[in-house]
Amino acid sequence: MKTREEIRLAWLIPSVKGGYYWQPFFKEVTNLFPQMVLFTGYWSGFLKRFQDSFTVKIVGESQQILSEKHSETGYTSSFIYASPAIILDLLKFKPDVVFSSYFSIWTLLALLFKPVGNWKVVIFYDGSSPTVDAVNSKVRLYSRRLMSRFTDAFLTNNRGGKSYLVNHLNVKESCIFIQPYQVADIQTLCENYDKKLTQLQLKSPIFLFVGQVIPRKGVKNLLDACILLKKQGYQNYTLLMVGDGEQKEELKTYSQEAGLEQIVQWVGQVKYNQLGTYFQQSDVFVLPTLEDVWAVVVSEAMAFGKPVLCSKWAGAYELVREGENGYVFDPNQPEDLAVAMRDFITNHPNLTETMGKKSVEFISEYTPQKAAEVVAQIVSFVFDQKLN
């Protein structure tokens, strides 16, 4: 059996557009397996502190192709075209294990050429959600079940992902590893300070939203909760909106017309390595998403010691222990979110501090280092022997 230093790992992700949260994880995996290469068709570039800390090979040019009109409640159905030249690169690299994203074209090719390259294949499935799971598509379910039969192991962020793999794709539980691998790295998020924050007038407690301002993220539902709070006489707080998107101007006008201009502060787009500025300043993180397979921002907020108000439709809701480090809510019921927000407004700072400490305690189990260790466990599993 080869040692870790000798084992060659190939990670296949057709597009890493904006996926800066991957970089701490890949650095840690490379520390364990120096001969790891990330293959992708779209690369946003290295953050400063991870420059050349792992190897990236760009293969062709990946493109997202929409198969239907934009969804108002969830992910838009689409697929990513990725270059079939990946096979030539893999045959040249000669990996021992191929970790491939979802049931993508590259995953299919890795499985088809598995006997030729004599490599193991591990599928990492970020998490479960209605659009991504495609449970109503007989063709996609059949193809995924067939691909699963020839896959050596699976890695997923959460229990929802495991449930989908077992109940819909008939994967054996013994082949599934659950470990959040899209997690926070505080040092990365705090690499640069954003001076824009000093220009804002903020009232505590400060609720923070970080994400795209698009229908799927449920921002209007969050604003509706703020409108309800205003009607109940609660206005002594701030909602920081960090992010941009197609709905921003529309919802900015909506909040102003509702009289929330003294409450809602629209920050706009912020660089990934400046987000720590806002996590540090805020008191409570809120995610009203209507569909997210995971939502790494939840782990990021917890790492900064923030209580979390998390939508039940985000895979990362599993990180929230009800009443201990936050609350899980249905974003389609703004009145429930308003009740949870009111709890923090009326019990600040005691409640925010108590729950924030719990967040730090709970998230300490999930770090890039520990995720990399699970990768090592998977490699041992597929070769059925302990690594040296």
Q: Which helix (H) or strand (E) holds 226?
A: helix 219-231
pLDDT at 69: 54
Q: How far apart are CA 309 and CA 222, in angstroms?
A: 11
Stretch 309-313: mean pLDDT: 98
Its pTM surpasses 0.85: yes
Q: How far apart are CA 339 and CA 327, in angstroms?
A: 10
Residue 48, Cβ neighbours under 10 Å: how many?
9
Q: Which helix (H) or strand (E) holds 106?
A: helix 105-112
pLDDT digits (tens, 9 = 90+) for 216-259: 999 999 999 999 999 999 999 999 999 999 999 999 999 999 99
pLDDT digits (tens, 9 = 90+) for 59-86: 998 887 765 555 667 877 767 889 999 9
Q: What percent of the chain stands above pLDDT 70?
A: 97
Is residue 264 within 8 A of residue 228, CB to CB? The reply is no
Peptide bond into 307 cis (omega under 30): no
Secondary structure letter of residue 19 according to DSSP: -
Reference 110, options 36, 100, 102; nearest CA is 100
pLDDT at 2: 86
Beta strands 35-40; 284-287: pairing state: unpaired
Is residue 191 within 8 A of residue 272, CB to CB? The reply is no
pLDDT at 66: 62
Arithmetic mean of pLDDT over the chain: 95
Q: Which helix (H) or strand (E) holds 278?
A: helix 275-281
Reference 88, options 51, 117, 121, 52; nearest CA is 117
Q: Which residue ranges form the domains of the chain, and what is each CATH number?
A: 8-183+366-383 (3.40.50.2000), 187-363 (3.40.50.2000)
On the question of pLDDT at 1 being above 80, the answer is no
Q: Write the single-letter amino acid at 6.
A: E
On the question of pLDDT at 115 being above 90, the answer is yes
Q: How far is CA 147 from CA 122, 126, 192, 371, in A?
A: 11, 17, 43, 25
pLDDT, greater one: 1 or 336: 336
Q: What does residue 267 show for φ and ψ, rounded to 5 degrees?
A: -85, -35
On the question of pLDDT at 264 being above 70, the answer is yes
Q: Give the helix ranges, DSSP H, for 155-218.
A: 159-167, 186-189
